[in-house]
Amino acid sequence: EDGTLGFECTLEEVDLEDITKNQINTIKACTPEDPGTGNCPSLERSTLDTHQCLQGIYEDLSTYRAELRNFSDQKVLAAIDEMMKVLNTSSRHGLQPVAGTVPSSFSERMRLCSILHAFRIRTVTINRLVNFLSSPESSL
């Protein structure tokens, strides 16, 4: 929210931090191992491991939820929980809500700003992949 961090949290103000880079994540799980030439590999159903891709998305959501649990709005956490439930229908345990707090130091607030922007960008990728997976036939 505007003003929550005590400064304008814009993408230009922060260096993005990929908190998922050392684990399975959406990008690693949903792109082919051999992307071919160019910067934008095409994604085809024949080479996509849907289960692995959905697992990568789930892991991303889990990582971001854990990182944001102490600082974020309960609506954000509830939305992440709902997405995780849809992806992991076999899960029988619910995630417990945590009281959110605003980080106290400036560096903590800058880091939260960075993580929120990185998460926003990742959700665009997740949205595109879910749309791709749910479409009858297409390629990215």
DSSP string, 36-56: -SSSS----GGG--HHHHHHH
Q: Enumerate residues 6+ apart whose C-beta is below 8 A from 60.
A: 20, 25, 26, 122, 126
HSE at residue 111, side-chain half, CA atoms within 13 A, is 13
pLDDT at 73: 75
Q: 112: closest CA among 77, 72, 82, 74? A: 72
Distance, in Å, from the CA atom of 88 to the CA atom of 60, rounded to the nearest integer, reads 13
Model confidence at 34: pLDDT above 70: no
More confident residue, 112 or 96: 112
Q: Is residue 15 part of a domain?
A: no
Q: How much is the pTM?
A: 0.76
Q: Is residue 11 part of a domain?
A: no
Residue with tokens 């899960």: 91
Distance, in Å, from the CA atom of 8 to the CA atom of 101, rounded to the nearest integer, reads 18
| Residue 36, Ramachandran bin (φ over 0: left; ψ between -120 and 50: alpha; else beta) | left
Model confidence at 107: pLDDT above 70: yes
Range of 65's domain?
20-34+43-134
Model confidence at 60: pLDDT above 50: yes
Model confidence at 55: pLDDT above 70: yes
| Residue type (1 letter), 105 | S
How many domains does the chain contain in total?
Answer: 1
